[in-house]
Protein backbone atom coordinates (compact mmCIF):
# COMPACT_ATOMS: atom_id res chain seq x y z
CA UNK A 1 0.00 0.00 0.00
CA UNK A 2 1.07 3.55 -0.51
CA UNK A 3 1.74 5.95 2.27
CA UNK A 4 -1.71 7.53 1.93
CA UNK A 5 -4.20 6.88 4.69
CA UNK A 6 -7.96 7.38 4.67
CA UNK A 7 -9.22 10.28 6.76
CA UNK A 8 -10.77 9.32 10.06
CA UNK A 9 -14.46 10.19 10.17
CA UNK A 10 -15.98 10.33 13.61
CA UNK A 11 -18.92 7.98 14.06
CA UNK A 12 -22.27 9.46 14.98
CA UNK A 13 -23.27 6.27 16.73
CA UNK A 14 -26.24 5.76 14.39
CA UNK A 15 -26.51 2.43 12.65
CA UNK A 16 -29.16 1.71 10.02
CA UNK A 17 -30.74 -1.58 10.99
CA UNK A 18 -33.43 -3.85 9.58
CA UNK A 19 -35.92 -2.35 12.05
CA UNK A 20 -35.21 1.13 10.68
CA UNK A 21 -35.86 -0.15 7.17
CA UNK A 22 -39.19 -1.68 8.25
CA UNK A 23 -40.30 1.77 9.43
CA UNK A 24 -38.67 3.88 6.71
CA UNK A 25 -40.05 2.04 3.67
CA UNK A 26 -43.77 2.35 4.57
CA UNK A 27 -43.27 6.00 5.55
CA UNK A 28 -41.56 6.70 2.21
CA UNK A 29 -44.33 4.89 0.29
CA UNK A 30 -47.08 6.83 2.11
CA UNK A 31 -45.23 10.12 1.53
CA UNK A 32 -44.79 9.35 -2.18
CA UNK A 33 -48.45 8.33 -2.56
CA UNK A 34 -49.56 11.45 -0.67
CA UNK A 35 -47.39 13.65 -2.89
CA UNK A 36 -48.82 12.01 -6.00
CA UNK A 37 -52.41 12.47 -4.81
CA UNK A 38 -51.85 16.12 -3.87
CA UNK A 39 -50.22 16.88 -7.23
CA UNK A 40 -53.01 15.02 -9.06
CA UNK A 41 -55.63 17.02 -7.12
CA UNK A 42 -53.88 20.31 -7.88
CA UNK A 43 -53.59 19.46 -11.59
CA UNK A 44 -57.27 18.45 -11.71
CA UNK A 45 -58.24 21.78 -10.16
CA UNK A 46 -56.24 23.69 -12.71
CA UNK A 47 -57.86 21.75 -15.56
CA UNK A 48 -61.25 23.01 -14.47
CA UNK A 49 -60.01 26.55 -15.05
CA UNK A 50 -58.97 25.53 -18.56
CA UNK A 51 -62.39 24.27 -19.53
CA UNK A 52 -63.94 25.93 -22.54
CA UNK A 53 -67.45 25.96 -21.11
CA UNK A 54 -67.25 27.58 -17.69
CA UNK A 55 -70.88 28.53 -17.13
CA UNK A 56 -73.42 27.31 -19.72
CA UNK A 57 -75.82 24.52 -18.58
CA UNK A 58 -73.22 22.98 -16.23
CA UNK A 59 -75.88 20.65 -14.76
CA UNK A 60 -76.23 18.95 -18.16
CA UNK A 61 -73.80 16.19 -19.23
CA UNK A 62 -73.68 17.68 -22.75
CA UNK A 63 -74.83 21.03 -24.13
CA UNK A 64 -76.64 20.59 -27.43
CA UNK A 65 -78.70 23.10 -29.40
CA UNK A 66 -80.72 22.39 -32.51
CA UNK A 67 -82.29 24.90 -34.89
CA UNK A 68 -84.50 24.47 -37.94
CA UNK A 69 -83.18 26.24 -41.02
CA UNK A 70 -86.58 27.79 -41.64
CA UNK A 71 -86.48 29.47 -38.22
CA UNK A 72 -83.09 31.11 -38.75
CA UNK A 73 -84.22 33.79 -41.19
CA UNK A 74 -81.56 35.27 -43.43
CA UNK A 75 -78.60 35.08 -41.03
CA UNK A 76 -77.69 33.70 -37.59
CA UNK A 77 -74.43 34.13 -35.66
CA UNK A 78 -73.62 31.47 -33.05
CA UNK A 79 -71.03 31.53 -30.28
CA UNK A 80 -68.10 29.09 -30.39
CA UNK A 81 -66.02 30.49 -27.49
CA UNK A 82 -68.61 29.77 -24.76
CA UNK A 83 -68.17 33.28 -23.34
CA UNK A 84 -71.29 34.91 -24.80
CA UNK A 85 -73.85 36.30 -22.36
CA UNK A 86 -76.47 35.53 -25.04
CA UNK A 87 -75.30 31.92 -25.64
CA UNK A 88 -75.86 30.13 -28.02
CA UNK A 89 -75.85 33.41 -29.95
CA UNK A 90 -72.61 35.37 -30.36
CA UNK A 91 -72.30 38.70 -28.58
CA UNK A 92 -68.67 39.35 -29.60
CA UNK A 93 -67.15 37.99 -26.35
CA UNK A 94 -64.64 35.99 -28.39
CA UNK A 95 -62.68 39.20 -29.07
CA UNK A 96 -61.85 39.63 -25.36
CA UNK A 97 -61.26 35.88 -24.98
CA UNK A 98 -58.83 35.90 -27.93
CA UNK A 99 -56.97 38.92 -26.56
CA UNK A 100 -56.59 37.34 -23.09
CA UNK A 101 -55.63 33.84 -24.23
CA UNK A 102 -53.99 34.25 -27.64
CA UNK A 103 -56.77 32.06 -29.08
CA UNK A 104 -58.30 32.74 -32.50
CA UNK A 105 -61.88 31.58 -32.08
CA UNK A 106 -64.73 33.31 -33.85
CA UNK A 107 -68.45 32.79 -34.34
CA UNK A 108 -70.27 30.32 -36.56
CA UNK A 109 -72.22 32.35 -39.13
CA UNK A 110 -75.09 30.70 -41.01
CA UNK A 111 -76.81 32.67 -43.74
CA UNK A 112 -78.94 32.09 -46.76
CA UNK A 113 -77.07 31.95 -50.02
CA UNK A 114 -77.44 35.07 -52.12
CA UNK A 115 -79.70 34.44 -55.10
In what helix (H) or strand (E) does residue 111 lie, and over which residues does it extend? Answer: strand 108-111
- Cβ(114)–Cβ(75) below 8 Å: no
Q: Which residues have C-beta within 8 Å of that of residue 81, sequence separation ≥ 6?
A: 52, 93, 94, 97, 98, 103, 105
Residue 83 among the catalytic residues: no
Distance from C-alpha of 81 to C-alpha of 52, rounded to nearest angstrom: 7
**Nearest Cα to 106, choosing from 40, 10, 97?**
97
Single out the catalytic residue among 48, 49, 58, 62: 62
Q: Which residues are known catalytic residues?
A: 62
Amino acid sequence: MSGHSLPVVPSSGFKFTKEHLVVAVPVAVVAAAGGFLVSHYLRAGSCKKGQVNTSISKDSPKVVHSFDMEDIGTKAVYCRCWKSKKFPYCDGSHAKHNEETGDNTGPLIIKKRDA
